[in-house]
A and B are shown apart, each in its own frame.
Chain A
Amino acid sequence: MGQKITIEPVTRVEGHGKVTIHIDNEGKILQTRLHIVEFRGFERFIQGRPYWEAPVLVQRLCGICPVSHHLAAAKAMDVIVGAGTGEGLTPTGEKMRRLMHYGQMFQSHSLHFFHLASPDLLFGVNGDPAIRNVIGVALEHQDLAVQGVMMRKFGQEIIRATAGKKIHGTGAIPGGINKSLTQEEVDSFLKGDDPLNIDKMISWSKDALKFFKDYHKTHKSIIDEFAEFPSNHLSLVRKDGALDLYHGVLRAVDPEGKIILHDIDYQDYNKYIEEEVRTWSYMKFPYLKEFGKDNGWYTVGPLARMNTAEFIDTPLAQKEFEKFKAYNNGKPSNKSMHMHWARLIEILHSAEKMKELLSDPDIQNGELTTKGTKKPEGVGLIEAPRGTLFHHYKVNNNDQIEMANLIVSTTNNNQPMNNAVNQVATNVMTSQPEITEGMMNAVEVAIRAYDPCLSCATHALGQMPLEITLYNSDDKIIDQKIK
């Protein structure tokens, strides 16, 4: 008799999701799906609100990376107030926003690596669930746990200084920013008491990378083979091909590295990207129109960015990028667990960028905003920690938002996450007499690599748990495990 397994809720991810796995009489996996079961409706209730409210209102989608939504919406509003797309702002406006964004990237990536992902690496996918969590890390690897907390704190302090608050600030406004930094604030980040200063952050970022690379040497199979499958990759890149997390043109490469989306202006994104709705999930499935639903799906996030970018413009991260590229023979990496490696390179890059910006006098003085001829429509894209984030708005003659479309990073990763889940379930569960906790965690590890924010993806509200349920071929529940 066939079976259906459901993993609900999925744990150590942001948001609520479940996995269902259908198994036939011989134990063969028939179908695996990651369902996102939350719904919220931000795109609807922002309609009618004044456009300048969007950056502050829409960021309430998320408490983990609200800065990304704040900045993506602000970038769209820059277009609407005629301030241009990214390059049109005043130096102070752009640099303050970038600093806010790198602070965000630094804290969010640190949170993911140290708090959410490291338990799987330190204690193993099949490790005892009682210690395979952040408390276990704190008890057994105190240095690492403290680094994670302090790195997150540093990033959050950068956000507070640039946005006014650590969570849900108001710094970015249409056409620029509402404040610059004082000398005192700059000094506190550059020369703050140990460990809260930028040099320590750079040093710890290097240590985290070393930790991962040492782990990689002894755990090649899980890092290189776990949830590996060919994928297209999409991200913003700077016009010269450099990694740029704040602004650029949109590029996609195929699994072999061939450019399939040629550095387009993201104002035209909807000429190239479409979203498909499937009945079993609230999360849509975006794809590149030219290649269709079956072949046009793509991955976003740290790994995709390493695969689309040609170089990194900060020296320490560039060295690590070169090692990463060399390991993958110059080709895109299609290995889901390399996402962690890429994330750590970005932590280092963000730390270097923060130092560069904090040392720039523009961050303390200069015009904060600029405006031009107004436009009725604007698109704002940013590379959020979890990948490319799209905000698209239309505004009427009375300055009210008429239409909003958000394609959130995790939504872009919907198909790859489903593929990862399917691949891992097929590998670890096929023909097994019993579904163990370790097998279920393996499925979660695959999802976790994408650091999904399911709340953002559906613009949803709810708890943060994953559930696995086992069904027979008559769709009757025969086993259910909730974590």
Chain B
Amino acid sequence: MYQTIKFTIDGKECIAKKGQYLVDAAKENNIYIPTLCNVEGVKPKGACRICTVKVNGRLMTACTTPVAEGMAIENNTEEIIDLRKSIVELFFVEGNHFCPACEKSGECDLQALAYKFLIMAPRFPFQFPVRELDATNPKIVKDHNRCILCKRCIRVIKDEEGKNIYAFKKRGHKVEIIVDPESADKFTDELAEKSMEICPVGAILVKEKGFSTPIGQRKYDKVPIGSDIEKVTKIKNEVL
């Protein structure tokens, strides 16, 4: 049987199962903590840092921090919001993200967060790195210009034996995702579709699929990111 513990987020009393990661515990209490690299049910990585919160006064990533009795979490404070905003801005300047011609536009978590944080222009200078588009795989296109190295594809996409399909290649600032050549023959159409879906940006694209969802019906056309969690809060508050 789970042990229930109590903690607070921005002063609001919350209840969670002991050991639950903060980001999941917050969700169960109808509080949205933004994520990019995190995937529910998959071991967290803490790669993107967008879920940073203050735990008892210290900055920590909510996706990798288990919740404990009496924790005081700061989530929606001016300081944390600005920190998250700066992380999103860093992603934009570090890669080449041209939303107008990107087929993930409207379904991209990074773009959705930029809208959520009302980012008009980044505070940092654009780096305009020279990166390649790799279309040699018959099923997918990898656009390294847009990859934020979240490792979602590496952690989630597995073959029937549970082996990774994706891997990191090169080192340091040159690191990039590849489809492991040894697993290439196990890369099914379903896995290709799942890769595109799991990618929080437009770095993995299934070939010849682009723009098939009309504007107005895309994931974030109707509701902003995180509103599914926050909306519940609102409704519950209204009921209460």
Q: In angstroms, how far is the closest chain B Cβ from the Cβ of A109? A: 25
Give the residue of A50, A55, A56, A57 whose beta carbon is less than 8 angstroms from that of B207. Answer: A50
In the assembly, what is the distance between CA of A168 and CA of B100, in Å?
A: 8
Q: Say how far B28's CB is from chain A's closest CB, in angstroms.
A: 36
With A57-B101, A169-B215 as contacts: A52 and B133 at CB distance below 8 Å? no
Task: Classify chain B's interface size.
Answer: 10 to 19
Whole-angstrom distance from the CB of A84 to the nearest CB of chain B? 17
- Bitwise interface map of B from 110 to 150 toward A, beta carbon under 8 Å scored 1, else 0: 00000000000000000000000101100001000000000
Cβ contact within 8 Å between A50 and B215: no
Q: Is A49 engaged at the interface, CB distance under 8 Å to the other chain?
A: yes
- Contact bitstring A33-60, B, C-beta under 8 A = 1, else 0: 0000000000000001110110111001
Of the candidates A52, A60, A169, the one whose C-beta lies within 8 Å of that of B103 is: A52
B187-230 contact mask (Cβ, 8 Å, vs A): 1 or 0: 00000000000000000010111111111110000000000000
B183 to chain A, nearest CB (A): 20
Does A314 sit within 8 A of B, measured CB to CB? no
From B101, B136, B216, B217, A53 is in contact (CB under 8 Å) with B101
Contact A398 B136 (CB under 8 A): yes
A152 contacts B by Cβ under 8 Å: no
Interchain CB contact under 8 A, B101 and A56: yes
Q: Is A179 an interface residue (CB 8 A)?
A: yes
Partner of A398, one of B100, B135, B213: B135
- Interchain nearest-CB distance for A259 vs B (Å): 39
A50, B101: Cβ atoms closer than 8 Å: no
Between A49, A57, A168, A170, the greatest number of chain B beta carbons within 10 A of the residue's beta carbon is seen for A170
Decide yes or no whether A302 CB sits under 8 A from chain B: no
Give A399 to B214 CA distance when docked, in angstroms.
22
A174 within 8 A of B: yes
Number of interface residues of A (CB under 8 A): 24
* Docked pose: A174 CA to B103 CA in angstroms: 13
Residue from the list A81, A170, A400 in contact with B215, Cβ < 8 A: A170
Contact present for B208 and A174 (CB under 8 Å): yes
User: CA A52 – CA B210 in complex, angstroms?
Assistant: 6
The interface bits of chain A over 163-177 (1 if a CB of B lies within 8 angstroms of the residue's CB, else 0) are 111001111011000
Q: Which residues of B contact A48 (CB under 8 A)?
A: 133
Most A CB contacts (10 A, CB to CB) among B136, B208, B213 go to B208
A370 in contact (CB, < 8 A)? no
Closest approach, in angstroms, between the C-beta of A48 and any C-beta of chain B? 6
Q: CB-CB < 8 A to B136: which residues of A? A: 398
Residues of A within 8 A of B208 (CB): 52, 81, 174, 399
Q: Is the CB of A165 within 8 A of B135?
A: no
- Is there contact, CB below 8 Å, between B135 and A170? no
- B141 x A50 contact (CB < 8 A): yes
Do B205 and A50 have beta carbons less than 8 Å apart? yes
Q: How far is the CA of A53 from the CA of B209 in the complex (A)?
A: 10
> What are the residues of chain B within 8 A of A171 when measuring CB–CB?
214
CA distance A57 to B99 in the complex (A): 10
Contacts of A168 in B (CB 8 A): 100
Q: Is the CB of B207 within 8 A of A399?
A: yes
B209, closest chain A residue (CB): A52
Distance A178 CA – B210 CA, assembled complex (angstroms): 10
Q: Are B214 and A179 in contact (CB under 8 A)?
A: yes
Q: Identify 4 new A-B residue pairs, CB closer than 8 A, beyond the known A56-B101, A56-B103, A60-B101.
A: A50-B141, A52-B210, A173-B212, A179-B214
3 tightest CB-CB pairs across the interface, nearest first? A164-B215, A57-B101, A398-B135
- Some 8 contacts from A to B, beta carbons below 8 A apart, are A48-B133, A50-B135, A56-B103, A60-B100, A81-B208, A178-B214, A179-B217, A400-B135
